[in-house]
């Protein structure tokens, strides 16, 4: 399989999107606790959430933007489709996260813990739009083959 740099970057963004959703949902599940009363350990949810965002969500969005910057003039069907999938994963994961926030005990909703899904849901929609644009541009592009070029003798 012969993929371009923007396709590989889009695949990395997809992996980081899946990792972010899995980490955020497991973090929320940890904060809810086994019996809905919170974790059995002392935790600082705000700093843990910041670590989670800087490890997975921020690089995911940066790589999506980088893939878009690489192919914004000619598009990429593979990269666009992968970014659409990454955006859908983020939006779906954040929709599940929104339903989990009310179950978290109030003493653990500090910093961005309660609003993170609301922040990253539009970000996931933006990744989907970028992927759709890359896919649409690649369909519009005219393919020029060497047999179509004029002979310059």
Condensed to tens digits (0 to 9), the pLDDT of residues 105-118 reads 988 898 899 999 99
pTM: 0.86
Residues 13-32: pLDDT tens digits?
999 999 999 999 999 999 99
Q: Would you state the pLDDT for residue 151?
A: 54
Residues 51-102: pLDDT tens digits?
999 999 999 999 999 999 998 888 889 999 999 999 999 999 999 999 999 9
Q: Would you state the pLDDT for residue 62?
A: 96
Crossing angle (nearest 10°) for helices 77-100 and 5-32: 10
């Amino acid at each position: 399989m012969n993929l371009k740099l923007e396709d590989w970057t889009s695949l990395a963004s997809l992996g980081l999107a899946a990792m972010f959703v899995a980490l955020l949902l497991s973090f929320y599940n940890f904060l809810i606790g086994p019996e809905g009363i919170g974790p059995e350990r002392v935790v600082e949810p705000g700093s843990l959430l910041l670590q989670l965002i800087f490890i997975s969500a921020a690089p995911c969005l940066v790589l999506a933007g980088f893939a878009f910057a690489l192919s914004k003039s000619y598009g990429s069907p593979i990269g666009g489709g992968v970014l659409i999938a990454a955006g859908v994963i983020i939006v779906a994961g954040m929709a599940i996260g929104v339903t989990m926030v009310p179950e978290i005990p109030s003493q653990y909703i500090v910093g961005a813990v309660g609003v993170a899904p609301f922040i990253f849901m539009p970000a996931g929609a933006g990744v989907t739009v970028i992927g759709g644009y890359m896919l649409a541009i690649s369909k519009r592009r005219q393919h020029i083959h060497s047999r179509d070029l004029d002979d310059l003798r």
